Copies of this chain bind each other. A is one copy, B any other.
């Protein structure tokens, strides 16, 4: 095999690491792949760590110990998150997207990959420390962003359904009070999660918190700990939700009289981190 140069090794390693966020690759893995010595690979990784940091492309971490190695995380700096979400808020504010009944149209935003993957990275950044075992969402609109978050965290996505399906096997069903006050059902396959796991809840919209509370209750049924909750958008009213401790990216205030939407970045995005 022709000798592989540093710039070639580093480029390939960047791609391999960033394609599998939060997964640990051993040094030996890359030594074998590139036919290079451990000392050489360590130097490569040191330089790569600097590059990733300098260009705001995430974070490269060296993990020590028996299961040690190197892993890539898509950490987004707070200033960049705020700028990105600020731009989104501008696109969503105004009269154009307000629908009859005071609803906001943003389904397009929720399924455009470059926007969704960035939102997923921002959400994941906030919850790496909690090490969730999976991401839970309730069908339908939140699935892409929940998937993007799960991808950035390197964990599976689990989707709760509105009713049990024949192709999901035996399921746990619970009832919950929806935003409109009606009693709804939420269903999750028994095979989907295991007792003792940790879960991050991700969804597109938070109003009263009925659905979110339903997801929390569902996780209790499975003996799963909810380590965090994050939403693309929450409404300014009601201020008091049926859940607490959540992080939303944007806050929506609809002026029903003028049919105008006022969308702002959530307060926590102003903090340092």
Contacts and interface: CB of A to CB of B under 8 A. Distances in A.
A232 to B, nearest CB: 13
Contacts of A7: 6-7, 10-11, 47
B10 A159 contact: no
Nearest to A2: B54
Interface in A111-145: 111-114, 116-117, 139-141, 143-144
A157 interface: yes
B168 A105 contact: yes
Report the interface size class on chain A: 35 or more
B107 A192 contact: yes
A168 to B, nearest CB: 6
Contacts of A117: 19, 151
B6 A57 contact: no
A191 B140 contact: no
Contacts of A50: 8
Contacts of A154: 113-114
Contacts of A51: 8, 11-12
Interface string A210-230: 000000000000000000000
| Interface pairs A-B: 10 shortest CB-CB | A113-B151, A7-B7, A111-B157, A103-B167, A11-B14, A143-B143, A10-B11, A139-B140, A144-B147, A12-B55
A113 B6 contact: no
A65 interface: no
A179 to B, nearest CB: 11
B114 A8 contact: no
Interface string A40-67: 0000000110111011010000000000
